[in-house]
Structure 1
Amino acid sequence: MSTSVLLFTRDLRVHDNPALAAASEADHVVPLFVFDDTILGGRFAAPNRVCFLLDSLADLRASLRELGGDLVVRRGDPVAEAGRLAKETHASALFLGDERSAYATRRLARLRGLDLDVSACPGVTVVPPGDLVPAGGDHYRVFTPYWRAWEAARWRPVADPPRDVRLPPGVRPGPLPRRADLTSGAPSPDVAPGGERAGRERMAAWLRADAADYERVRDDLAADRTSRLGPYLKFGCVSPRELAEASPDAVRRQLAWRDFHHQVAAAFPGLARDDYRPRGQRWNRDEDALAAWCDGMTGVPIVDAGMRQLHREGFMHNRARLITASFLTRDLGIDWRHGLRHFNDWLTDGDVADNAGNWQWVAGTGNSTRPGQTMNPLRQASRFDPGGDYVRRYVPELADIDGRRVHRPWTLPAARRRTLDYPPPIIDLE
C-alpha cells in the first residue's frame, strides 16, 4: 500500500488545496504540520499570528478528522521531522505548497535531498511566481504590464477536497501546543479568529454584501467595507484562486498585486532587508519620533488612528497603511525597515512579500513608477475620512470633536486644547 506525507506550511485548508488532493491519491496520507523552531525563534512568532495560527490548525485538524484522518503535529526542523515520519510510515512521496521565499526555497532544496519523491504544488498565489516572465527579464518590475499578463494567464483548475484522508496505523498525531509555549506576548484584544471555516464564512459574506461595491468603498476608512481576508490568505485558510474566480475586477486586481509582490520577492530574496531600487536616501535616526509613531501618539489624528487600530485588532485598513507608512518615511524621514518591523510585530496578515513590497513602494525604494510621491496626511484624512468617524473610533481622546476639526485639533481654541489628553503634532503639517 502506498503512503505519502503532506507537509502543511501556509495552506491550512482542505478546499482547493492541490497538495492535499495529490497526496490523497495514495492509500495512506500523513498530514503533517511542524512548528518550525527557525521561524518561532525570530520576529515571526508575533502573538497575533501565533494566536491565528493555532486557531487555524485546530480548525484544520477538525476538518481532517471529519474526513477520517488527523493532523500530525511536531516541533523542530520540518525537513528532519518529515524525513523521520516518512521512514516510520514507509512513505515514498512528499507533497507541500509551492512557496518561493528565500527560506522556503532552502527548505524545499533540503526536502529534495531526502529519499522521497517531492512535489511542490501551487496554491499560495493565483498565478505561481515564475509562471509569468517578461521578454528579456527574470521577473516583472512594474505592475501594469504584470497585470496585463496576469489577466491573460490560464489559471489552474480548482481542486476538490478529498473524499477521505486515511492516516497510516500507529501514527501518533500529537497535541497542539499552548500559545504560551510559542510566544511570550499577548494578542491584540480584537484579533480575528483563525481557521478555514471562519475564513470561508467571511469570504462568502463579503462577496455577497460588499465585493460589488469594492471599487467605490475600498478607501472609505470609516465604512470599513474591505474584505479583511488578508490573514486568511496569508495562512492559506482561504484559496486565492477561489476568491479570484468569485470576485469582480477591482478585487482581482488586488490579488494580482499580491501575486506581483510574491514574484518580486522570489526574484529578489532580500526584499525585507535591502532597497529593491536604492535611491541614496539618508534616513533620520529620531528615536523619539519613531516611538511616537509606533505608539500612535504623533499628534496627527489620522496617523494615530491607524496605528491604534493595528494594536487593537492586529489589522489596519489598507488606506491607513499607506498613510501611516508615508508619514513615517516621507514626513519623518525614518527608514522603512523600522516600519516594516513594527508592522510585522502586530499584523496578523504580516506576509513578508506583501508587507515588504508595500513598504518599499511607499518609501520610493520599491516598484513604484513615481518614487517621489508623498501622501499629505491632512489631505488624505479630508478625502477618506471626511466626517472624522474613523479617527473618533480609534482615538477616544478626540471622540467628542465634531466634523473635520477632529483632524486638526491643534486649531481648536487654547482653552479647549488644554482639556484634551492628546499630544500636539510632532511636526508642522500646516
Structure 2
Amino acid sequence: MRAAVVLLTRDLRVRDNPALAAACANAEQVVPLYVLDPKLGRLSPNRTRFLRQALADLRATLRDKGGDLVIRTGDPVAEAVEVARAAGAEGIGMAADVSRYARTREQRLREECERHRMSLKLFPGLTVVDPGALRPGGGGSAYKVFSPYHRTWRAATWRDEVATPDRITLPDGITAGHLPDPPPGESPDAAVGGETEARRKFATWMRHIGPYPELHNDMAADGTSRLSPYLRFGCLSPLELANAAIKQGAEEYARQLCWRDFYYQIALMMPDLSTQPIRPSGDTSWRSDTDALQHWRDGLTGVPVVDAGMRQMRAEGWMHNRARLITAAFLTKHLGVDWRPGVQWFFRWLLDGDVPNNSGNWQWVAGTGNDTRPYRKFNPIRQAQRFDPDGVYVRRYIPELKGIEGGAVHQPWRLPDTVRRGLDYPGPLESHRDEAVWLRP
C-alpha cells in the first residue's frame, strides 16, 4: 500500500496504537490525522484544553519520527475523506469507539469510503478487551453484573501490545494545518495533557502501585494513579497499563481497569446511557429542588466531605474516586435529585469525563444501573470518618474549616455556638435537615 490515513480520535499516542502501527507496517506513507470537530470542542473547557495539549505533544513526537500530525477543522468524515484523496490513500484506519456519536461517525465514514472506493478498517485500543468481545452465556448482549464479567475478562486472551513506529513518512503535498493554542480552561490546577506527561506519570505510578489496595480509598493520602484523563484521551494504552499492573501483582488496580471495560461494553449496547436508566424499575420519582442542586454544584451543601469533593473537581478537573461516590450518592440518595443533572455537571468539569464511565457510575450510585444492591445508601459522615478520619482531605479543599482540628471538621454543626458563628461556612441545607437523621446529635 502506498499511502494510508489514520484518523485519530481517542488514541492520541504512538505507543501501543494498533491503528497507527498497522498503517506504518503496511503503507509507505502515513497521514496521522486529527479533525477538530466543532460539535465536540464546545462541550467542556477543561477537556478542550487537555485535548489541545495532547495534540501538541503528539505533533512534536510525530515530527521527531519524520512525520507530522495533520490538523483539520470541520466534519471529521468529510475532512478525512478529503485528506485521504489528496494523499492518494487506499484506506483509512481508526480506533473503534462505543458512543452513539462515535458509531454514527463510523457509519458515515464507512459509507463515504465505499463511495470513493477506499477501505475503512477499525482497530482496538480504547479498552483492554474489546467491548463486544465478551458475551454472557444464554445469548445475552452484554454483562450486566460486574463479578462474572471480571472473571471472564481476567481469563480472556488479550491482544499483544504493538510496536511503536520508528519512522513515519508523510506524503508530499499534505499540509500539517494549524493547531490552535490551548484555551485557559476552567480548573486552575488541572493536569497537563499529552502522551509525554502520561508516560511520566505512568512510570511514577508503577513505582508506587504496591500499597494501592490499602490506600485507594484513603482520601487524604491521594493514593490513586490519576491516570484516568490520559486513558480517556488515549494518551496511555489501557492494555499496557493493565499488563504492567498484573506483572507487579497489582490485581486490585487491574480490577479497576476492568470496571472501565465493563462500562464500555454496557455503553456499546446502551447508547442512551447518559439519559436512560439501565434498570427502568430502579428509576424513581426524583425531587425537583433547583436550590439544593445549585448548592451541591457550588460545594455549599454544609456537609464538608461533599463540598470538598465538589470543590476539588472545580479546582483540578478531577475528583478522588471515593469522593465521587459520596457526592453522587448525596445528590441522589439524600437530596433525592435526579442523577442526570449530576452526570452533566461532572461532564462539564472532569478531564476524564466520558459516556461509559461517567454515566455508568452515576447510574450505579443512583440505583438505576448495575449495582446488585440498588437501594444502598451511603452515609456521608460515616464515609468521611472512615476514609478521612483526621479531616485532612476536607481542610485541603475547604479553607473556611482549616482552623478546626481532627475529625470534628466533618460535623461543624456540632461545634460550640461560639465557634460555629465564627465560621464562614453554611449550615446543612434547610431542605435536607429534617430527613437527615445523621445530622442530629
TM-score range for the pair, normalised by the shorter chain length? over 0.9
1:307 matched to 2:323: no
TM-score, normalization: structure 2? 0.94
Q: CA RMSD in A?
A: 1.0
1:201 matched to 2:203: no
The code of the aligned residue for 1:213 comes to P
Unaligned runs of 5+ in 2: none
Name the structure 1 match of 2:41.
40
CA distance in 1, matches of 2:315, 2:164: 35
Does the CA contact (< 8 Å) of 1:51 and 1:187 recur in 2? no
CA distance in 2, matches of 1:216, 1:305: 22
CA displacement at 1:108 relative to structure 2:
1.0
CA distance in 2, matches of 1:221, 1:167: 47
Name the structure 2 match of 1:8.
8
Q: What are the within-5 Å matches in structure 2 for residues 153-192 of structure 1?
A: 153-180=156-183, 186-192=185-191
1:117-145 CA distance string (max 9 Å, x none): 11110000000111000112011010000
TM-score, normalization: structure 1? 0.97
CA distance in 2, matches of 1:208, 1:65: 30
Stretch deviating more after TM superposition (165-174 or 273-282): 273-282
Name the structure 2 match of 1:234.
232
CA displacement at 1:280 relative to structure 2:
4.1
1:365-401 CA distance string (max 9 Å, x none): 0011000011000000000000000000000000010
The code of the aligned residue for 1:124 comes to L
Name the structure 1 match of 2:24.
24
CA distance in 2, matches of 1:86, 1:58: 22
Work out the percentage of aligned pairs sharing the same amino acid: 54
Stretch deviating more after TM superposition (361-370 or 103-112): 103-112
CA distance in 2, matches of 1:397, 1:76: 46
Name the structure 1 match of 2:290.
287
Does the CA contact (< 8 Å) of 2:48 and 2:185 recur in 1? no
CA distance in 2, matches of 1:66, 1:177: 20
The code of the aligned residue for 2:169 comes to R
1:55 matched to 2:41: no
CA distance in 2, matches of 1:173, 1:60: 13
CA distance in 2, matches of 1:421, 1:252: 42
1:401 matched to 2:404: yes
CA distance in 1, matches of 2:424, 2:330: 22
SS in 1 for 2:92: strand
CA displacement at 1:37 relative to structure 2:
2.0
Does the CA contact (< 8 Å) of 1:284 and 1:335 recur in 2? yes
The code of the aligned residue for 1:275 comes to P
CA displacement at 1:36 relative to structure 2:
1.0
CA displacement at 1:178 relative to structure 2:
3.1
CA distance in 2, matches of 1:246, 1:151: 14
1:66-105 CA distance string (max 9 Å, x none): 1100000001111100110111111001111111211111
SS in 2 for 1:276: coil
Name the structure 1 match of 2:414.
411
Does the CA contact (< 8 Å) of 1:23 and 1:29 recur in 2? yes
Name the structure 2 match of 1:263.
265
CA distance in 1, matches of 2:8, 2:393: 38
Match of 2:132 among 105, 116, 130: 130
SS in 2 for 1:212: coil
The code of the aligned residue for 1:94 comes to I
Name the structure 1 match of 2:107.
109
CA distance in 1, matches of 2:298, 2:39: 29
CA displacement at 1:10 relative to structure 2:
0.1
CA distance in 2, matches of 1:414, 1:231: 43
1:332-381 CA distance string (max 9 Å, x none): 00000011110000001101110000000000000110000110000000
SS in 2 for 1:12: coil
The code of the aligned residue for 1:284 comes to R
Does the CA contact (< 8 Å) of 2:330 and 2:380 recur in 1? yes
4+ aligned runs moved over 3 Å, structure 1: none
CA distance in 1, matches of 2:179, 2:283: 47
Q: How many residues were matched structurally? A: 422
